[in-house]
Amino acid sequence: MVQWLAALIRRPGPPMPIRMLPPDVAAKIAAGEVIERPVSVAKELLENAIDAGADEIRIEVAQGGRRLIQVGDNGCGIAADEVELAFARHATSKLRTAEELYAVRTLGFRGEALASICAVSRLILSTRAATEETGTLARLEAGVLLEREPHARSPGTTVQVENLFFNTPARVKFLRSDPTEAGHVARLVSSYALAYPTVRFVLVNNGRLALRSPGTGLAHDVIVALFGLDVAEKMLTLPESENRDGLRISGFVGVPSLHRANRQEMFFFVNRRWVQDNTLTFAVSEAYRTLLPNGRHPMVVLSLELPPEDVDVNVHPTKREVRFRREREVFVAVQRAVRTTVMAHGAIPTIEALASTPGSLESPTAGPLSFWRGHEPTHAWPSGGPPRLGALEWQRTAELPVQGGTSQTVASPGAQFQRLPMLRVVGQVGQTYVVAEGPGGLYLIDQHAAHERIRYENLKRQVQCSELATQELLDPLPLELAPRQAALLDEHLATLTALGMVLLPFGPNTILVKSVPADLRGQDVAAALSELLDAAERGGAEFSWEEQALITLSCHTAVRAGQTLSADEMRDLVRQLEATELPHTCPHGRPTLVLLSQAQLEREFGRR
Looking at the Cβ atoms of 110 and 187, the one nearer to ligand ADP is: 110
Number of residues that bind Mg ion (CB under 5 A): 3
d(CA 460, CA 554): 10
Looking at the Cβ atoms of 115 and 577, the one nearer to ligand ADP is: 115
Minimum distance, C-beta of residue 113 to ligand ADP, in the bound complex (Å): 3
Question: Given candidates 38, 40, 48, 65, which one binds Mg ion under the rule CB under 5 A?
Answer: 48
Query: What residues does 349 pair with on adjacent strands?
Result: none
Looking at the Cβ atoms of 26 and 429, the one nearer to ligand ADP is: 26
List the x/- string, 136-175, binding to ligand ADP by CB under 6 A.
Answer: ---------------------x------------------
Alpha-carbon Rg of the chain, whole angstroms? 30
Given a contact cutoff of 8 angstroms between Cβ atoms, the answer to whether 515 and 471 are in contact is yes
* Contact range with Mg ion by CB under 5 A, out of 1-9, 43-51, 249-257, 304-312: 43-51
Looking at the Cβ atoms of 68 and 502, the one nearer to ligand ADP is: 68
Minimum distance, C-beta of residue 317 to ligand ADP, in the bound complex (Å): 11
Ranges of H-type helices in 518-591: 525-538, 545-557, 567-578
* Contact range with ligand ADP by CB under 6 A, out of 106-114, 177-185, 189-197, 241-249: 106-114
Question: What is the distance of C-alpha 421 from the center of its chain?
Answer: 32
Q: Which residue is nearest to ligand ADP (CB)?
A: 108
Question: Given candidates 31, 34, 42, 114, which one binds ligand ADP under the rule CB under 6 A?
Answer: 114
Q: What is the DSSP string of 286-331?
A: HHTTTTS-TT-EE-EEEEEE--GGGEE--SSTTS---EETTHHHHH
Looking at the Cβ atoms of 108 and 183, the one nearer to ligand ADP is: 108
* Contact range with ligand ADP by CB under 6 A, out of 35-43, 103-111, 492-500, 504-512: 103-111
> Which one of ligand ADP, Mg ion, none is in contact with 92 (Cβ closer than 5 to 8 A by kind)?
ligand ADP
* Contact range with ligand ADP by CB under 6 A, out of 102-110, 303-311, 487-495, 596-604: 102-110
d(CA 247, CA 2): 65
> Which one of ligand ADP, Mg ion, none is in contact with 94 (Cβ closer than 5 to 8 A by kind)?
ligand ADP
Looking at the Cβ atoms of 100 and 399, the one nearer to Mg ion is: 100
C-alpha distances in angstroms, 364 versus 192, 210, 260, 262, 368?
Answer: 21, 14, 16, 20, 10
> Which one of ligand ADP, Mg ion, none is in contact with 395 (Cβ closer than 5 to 8 A by kind)?
none
d(CA 174, CA 169): 9
68-73, strands of its sheet edge to edge: 144-151, 135-141, 122-128, 156-162, 68-73, 56-62, 200-205, 208-212
Number of residues that bind ligand ADP (CB under 6 A): 23
Q: Could you give the angle at the alpha carbon of 374 between the alpha carbons of 341 and 205, nearest 5°?
A: 115
The C-alpha torsion from 101 through 102 and 108 to 114, rounded to 10°, is 30
Phi and psi at 295, nearest 5°, equal 75, 5
Minimum distance, C-beta of residue 151 to ligand ADP, in the bound complex (Å): 15
Question: Given candidates 37, 66, 110, 184, which one binds ligand ADP under the rule CB under 6 A?
Answer: 110
Looking at the Cβ atoms of 45 and 574, the one nearer to ligand ADP is: 45
Minimum distance, C-beta of residue 339 to ligand ADP, in the bound complex (Å): 37
Given a contact cutoff of 8 angstroms between Cβ atoms, the answer to whether 197 and 250 are in contact is no
> Which one of ligand ADP, Mg ion, none is in contact with 75 (Cβ closer than 5 to 8 A by kind)?
ligand ADP
Looking at the Cβ atoms of 123 and 516, the one nearer to ligand ADP is: 123
List the x/- string, 436-455, binding to Mg ion by CB under 5 A.
Answer: --------------------
Amino acid type, 256: P
Given a contact cutoff of 8 angstroms between Cβ atoms, the answer to whether 418 and 580 are in contact is no
The C-alpha torsion from 13 through 15 and 20 to 22, rounded to 10°, is -20
Query: What residues does 56 pair with on adjacent strands?
Result: 200
Minimum distance, C-beta of residue 39 to Mg ion, in the bound complex (Å): 15
Minimum distance, C-beta of residue 544 to ligand ADP, in the bound complex (Å): 42
Could you say which residues in the range 23-82 bind ligand ADP, by CB under 6 A?
A: 44, 48-49, 52, 73, 75-78
> Which one of ligand ADP, Mg ion, none is in contact with 349 (Cβ closer than 5 to 8 A by kind)?
none
Residue 317 binding ligand ADP, by CB under 6 A? no
> Which one of Mg ion, ligand ADP, none is in contact with 86 (Cβ closer than 5 to 8 A by kind)?
ligand ADP
Looking at the Cβ atoms of 119 and 224, the one nearer to ligand ADP is: 119
Minimum distance, C-beta of residue 131 to ligand ADP, in the bound complex (Å): 12
Residue 94 binding ligand ADP, by CB under 6 A? yes
Looking at the Cβ atoms of 113 and 222, the one nearer to Mg ion is: 113
Minimum distance, C-beta of residue 603 to ligand ADP, in the bound complex (Å): 54
d(CA 379, CA 228): 14
Given a contact cutoff of 8 angstroms between Cβ atoms, the answer to whether 331 and 282 are in contact is yes
Question: Given candidates 41, 59, 113, 188, which one binds ligand ADP under the rule CB under 6 A?
Answer: 113
For 487, half-sphere exposure in the C-beta direction (CA atoms, 13 angstrom radius) is 4
d(CA 313, CA 552): 42
In sequence order, the 6+-apart residues with CB closer than 8 A to the CB of 394 are 257, 349, 350, 351, 352, 379, 380, 385, 386, 594
Instruction: Give Dmax (Cα) for the chain.
Output: 96
Could you say which residues in the range 75-114 bind Mg ion, by CB under 5 A?
A: 108, 113
Minimum distance, C-beta of residue 29 to Mg ion, in the bound complex (Å): 19
d(CA 542, CA 589): 12
Give contact residues for Mg ion (rule: CB under 5 A): 48, 108, 113
Give contact residues for ligand ADP (rule: CB under 6 A): 44, 48-49, 52, 73, 75-78, 86, 91-94, 108-115, 157
